[in-house]
Each structure stands twice: as structure tokens, then as C-alpha cells.
Structure 1
Amino acid sequence: MNICMAHRGWSGKAPENTMAAVRLALAEPAIFAMEIDVQLSSDGVPVLIHDFTLGRTTNGKGLVKDHTLQQLRELDAGSWLDERFTGERIPTLDEVLQAVKGRCTLNIELKATSDMYPGIAEKVLALLEQHDMKQEVYITSFDHDLIRHVRTLDETVVTGLIVGGRPVLMLEQLQEAGANILSMGYPYLTKELAVEAIEKGYKVVAWTLDDPEHIRTVMSWHPDVQICTNHPDRMLEFV
């Protein structure tokens, strides 16, 4: 059965990467996985936010990495979507791990290069160790060198390459990085590549599918393709 993965929590109904979005996704039993984005505060704490700048999803300004955790926690991360969510804060990864443990698979996207956030892989792995959750998560990134670094730190954690195009030798790149997952933008993913990757033992995540017809088409390619969507309700009617 195709796994439904809530993108940035249930971001179609609540502000992305907030506890409100996480709780909504956890409340739906048919959602088996959730994707979140992780960066570091200036004092080195893993926090959930997608953009490198604060302006789109909070009432703050400037770069995430230039703010301490306390400064980030003072921002409103909800009212931009709807005034009902006024007061939602930027959560820490620690908070989210506590909420999610034992309830669904967490796809942690490292929104970083190792140069931008030195030590981000080590900090995330330390939290997973603390919560005994290494077997409940994927760690993925557009920075494929960073994923290779994660693999050198821990050979047991499931890792994935995020791809927003259609590069050649894709499966060879997965092998070179020691990755277990191909996470590809659905406009670039083909049925042939998805099936070949799955048959060779890789997991395949297609993102971000919100149109019901696109969802149904990609689901038809193979029952093991995981669907990452802002609107899980649009997928679950097909499940």
C-alpha cells in the first residue's frame, strides 16, 4: 500500500513545520509518515523551519541561523496562514521527536549544507540517540555530501537523497552516497525509474503531490511509492 507522507506536517490545514501541523498529521491513523525541515539556531539547536529566511512563515526578519533559540521562540509562526494559529511557535526537533515517537515515520530533511550548519548531522543524530528513534526516521537532504557524512557517522540510520531534477546515473549516486531512499520531485520521477529503484531495494518518495489526479497516477506506478503531500485527505480517499 502506498504510504501517505504529510509534507511539513499537515501543512494544507495548519502552518507548516509547527506543532499544530504535526498534531493534525498524528491524529490521522492513515498517515504513516511525516516530512519536516530542520535547521540550526545560532546557538546550535535543531529547529523546524523550511526557508533560510524568517519572513514568509513568521513575523521575524533575517536569517534563521542568525537568531538564538530564544529569539526564534518569540516569533509568531502561525498567523501568516490564519489568525486561528496566532501564537504558534517554531518548534525544536526535540519537541517533535517527543510527540512523534512510536506513532509514525519521520522524514527529517536537513535544510543545509555542512558549511552553513557545521555539526547539524551530529546534533540530529544525538537527539535520535537520546530518544531511541534511529529506526523510526529517514534523514534526507539536497546536499548529497551531507548525507554521505551522515552515513559515515552512523551506518544504521536510513538516509535519502532529495533530487529536484532528472540526473543521469541516479541509482549509482544513491549507492555512492550510501543512501537508502530516492526522494524526487514528482515532475521528474518516471514510472520506470521508480520501479527500478524499488526492485533494487531502495525506497522511493515522490514530492509534492497535491492534485488528486497526479496522486492517483503516481500511486498506480507501484504500491511501494511513498506520496508526500500537503493535503493527505486528497490521497487518503484513494487508499
Structure 2
Amino acid sequence: MNICMAHRGWSGKAPENTMAAIQLALAEPAIQAMEIDVQLTRDGVPVLIHDFTLERTTNGSGLVKDHTLEELRQLDAGKWFDEKFAGEKIPTLAEALAAIKGHCTLNIELKATSDMYPGIAEKVLALVEQYGMKQEVYVTSFDHELIRHVRTLDQEVQTGLIVYGRPVLMLEQIEAAGASILSMGYPYLTRELTAAAIEKGFKVIAWTLDEPAYIREVMSWHPEVQICTNHPDRMLTLG
């Protein structure tokens, strides 16, 4: 049966990458996995936020990396989505791990580009180790060199490449990075590539699927393809 992965928590019902979105996803037993985005504060603390800038999902401005944790914690990360979420904060990765441990698989996307966040892999892996969640997480990124670095640091944690496009030698790239997961934008994923990847023992995540017709189609390709969606309810009602 296809795994339902809540994208940035249940972001169709609550502000993305907040504890509210995480708790909503945890409250639905049929959601077996969750995806979150991680960056570092100026003082080196892993926090949950997607954009490199603060404007879209908070009442702050500027780059995430230019603010300390204390500064980020002053911001409202919920009101933009709905007034009832006013007061939601940007969570730390530690808070997310504590809540999710033992409940579902967690796909941690490292929102890093080249040298933007030195030490992000080490800091995230240290927290995963601290919470005893090596068997419960995936670590993924668009930065394939970063994923190769994660693999050199830890041989146990499952790692994956995020891809939006259809590069040649895709499966060979996964192997070259020491990864075992292909996380691909669904417009570029095909039935054939899905089958080939799973046949080689890789996990396949399709993102971000929100329209029921597309969800149904991709689910039909293979029972093991994981569906990453902002609206888990739409997938779960397909049966």
C-alpha cells in the first residue's frame, strides 16, 4: 500500500513546518510519513522553515540564516495562513523530533545550497542520534554533494536525492551519492523510472501531489511509491 507522506506537516490544514501542522499529521494514523524542511539559525540551531527568507511564512523579513534562534522565536509563523494559528512559532528540529519519534517516518530535507550552512549535516545527524531516530528518518536534499557528505558521516541513516527535472543516469547518480531514495517532482517521474528504481532497491517519493486524479495515477504505478502531499485527506479518501 502506498505510503502517505504529509508535506511540511499537514500543510493543507495548518501553516507549513509548524508544530500545528505536525500535530495534525500525527493525529491521523493513516499518515505514515512526514516531510519537513530544515535550515540553520545564525547561531547554528536547526529550525523548520522552507524559504531562505522570512517574508512568506512569518511576519519577519530577511534571510533565515541572518537571525538567531531567539530572534526567530519572536516571529509569528501562523497568522499568514489563518488567524486561528496566530502565535505559532518556527519550531526547532529538536522539538519536531521529540514529537514525531515513534509515530511515523520523518523525511528531513536539508535546505542548503553549496556552503550556505556549514555544519548542517553534522548538527542534524547529532540530533537524530540524540533522539534515537536513525531508523525513523530519511535525510534528503537537492544538494547531492551534501547527501554524499551525510553518507560519509553516517552509514546507517537513509539518504536521498531530491530532483526536479529528468537528468540522465538518474539511478547511477543515486548510487554515486551513496543514497537509497529518489525524491522526484511528480511531473518528471514516470512509471518506468519508478519501477526501475524500486527494482534496484531504492525508495521512491513523488512530490507534491494534491490533485486526486494525479495521486490515483501515480499510486497505480507501483504500490511502494510514496506520495508526498499537502492534502493527505485527498489521498486517504481514494482508498
TM-score, reference length from structure 2: 0.99
1:162 alignment partner, SS class:
strand
1:134 alignment partner, SS class:
coil
Per-residue CA shift, 1:177-210, capped at 9, x if unaligned? Answer: 0001000000000000000000110000000000
**Residue of structure 2 equivalent to 1:64:** 64
**Residue of structure 1 equivalent to 2:130:** 130
1:82 aligns with 2:94: no
The one-letter code matched in structure 2 to 1:3 is I
1:174 alignment partner, SS class:
helix
**Residue of structure 2 equivalent to 1:231:** 231
**Aligned-residue offset at 1:238:** 1.7
**Residue of structure 2 equivalent to 1:180:** 180
**Residue of structure 2 equivalent to 1:215:** 215
**Aligned-residue offset at 1:105:** 0.2
Matches within 5 A, 1:1-239: 1-239=1-239
Q: Percent of aligned positions with the same letter in both sequences?
A: 80
Partners of 1:140 and 1:203 lie apart in 2 by 12
Listed as ranges, the gaps of 5+ residues in structure 1 are: none
The one-letter code matched in structure 1 to 2:207 is W
**Aligned-residue offset at 1:114:** 4.7
2:193 alignment partner, SS class:
helix
2:166 alignment partner, SS class:
coil
The one-letter code matched in structure 2 to 1:133 is M
Listed as ranges, the gaps of 5+ residues in structure 2 are: none
The one-letter code matched in structure 2 to 1:60 is G
Partners of 1:238 and 1:179 lie apart in 2 by 31
Per-residue CA shift, 1:98-137, capped at 9, x if unaligned? Answer: 0000000000000003500000000000001111101100
2:50 alignment partner, SS class:
coil
The list of structure 1 runs, each at least 4 consecutive aligned residues, that deviate by more than 3 angstroms after superposition, is none
Aligned length: 239
Partners of 1:189 and 1:9 lie apart in 2 by 23
The one-letter code matched in structure 2 to 1:160 is G
2:99 alignment partner, SS class:
helix
Contact 1:114–1:120 (8 Å) recurs in 2: no
Partners of 2:8 and 2:225 lie apart in 1 by 18
